[in-house]
Amino acid sequence: MQTDDPITNLINAFSRLPGIGERTASRLAFFVLNQPEDLATELAEALVRVKSEVGLCAKCCNLTQGELCRICVDPKRDAASICVVEGPTDLRAIERTGEFRGRYHVLHGLISPLEGIGPDDIHVKELLTRLQTTDEDEEVSEIIIATSPSVDGEATALYLSRLLKPIGVKVTRIASGIPIGGELEYADRVTLSRALTQRREI
């Protein structure tokens, strides 16, 4: 809601961001106000640029400045393996591990019947199109579903598995269980059960 007070408008704008309450929004607003003008200019320009210059990769739906993202154009990435994630933040989290050298497909959401979000509302169709139009040298042999172990994440993983298996591609799911450094006595029943059923030989 716009007012005649620019400070109130800035606080209101910050408070619309996820995880930012009114108190934090107020601190951010006064921080910006007390900084040199070039900080405000830099912030404003960065916001305008990210909205005007960043779009979706034509192949994997990741965020990118060009037609294709840096991962899709990287010849060193393994085209035979595609990791399906909910959003760009999940892609970045996996990239930080340095363990996965394949490519990605970003859904930009999860199937959630309670919220009225179906397969047509996320980028499932683009994944199917991608699998059907790949060149021989980029033939996909494995789809890794890396959605969160939430109800919606599991529903999306199950839907994708049923959709992709008839195509003849191997479909796998990332493991979930006890986090490194965690204590068994503090683990909830579902997490502990998942850790047991997905155990592996050492």
Give per-residue burial for 1-34: e unless 16+ CB within 10 Å, then b.
eeeeeeeeebbbebbeeeebeeeebbebbeeeee
pTM above 0.75, yes or no: yes
- pLDDT tens string, the chain, 202 residues long: the values are 667 899 999 999 999 999 999 999 999 999 999 999 999 999 999 999 999 999 999 999 999 999 999 999 999 999 999 999 999 999 999 999 899 999 999 999 999 988 999 999 999 999 999 998 766 667 899 999 999 988 999 999 999 999 999 988 999 998 888 777 777 778 788 878 877 787 776 6
Distance between first and last Cα of the chain? 59
CATH class entry, domain 77-173 = alpha beta
Q: Which homologous superfamily is 6-53 in?
A: RecR Domain 1 (1.10.8.420)
Domain ranges of the chain: 6-53, 77-173
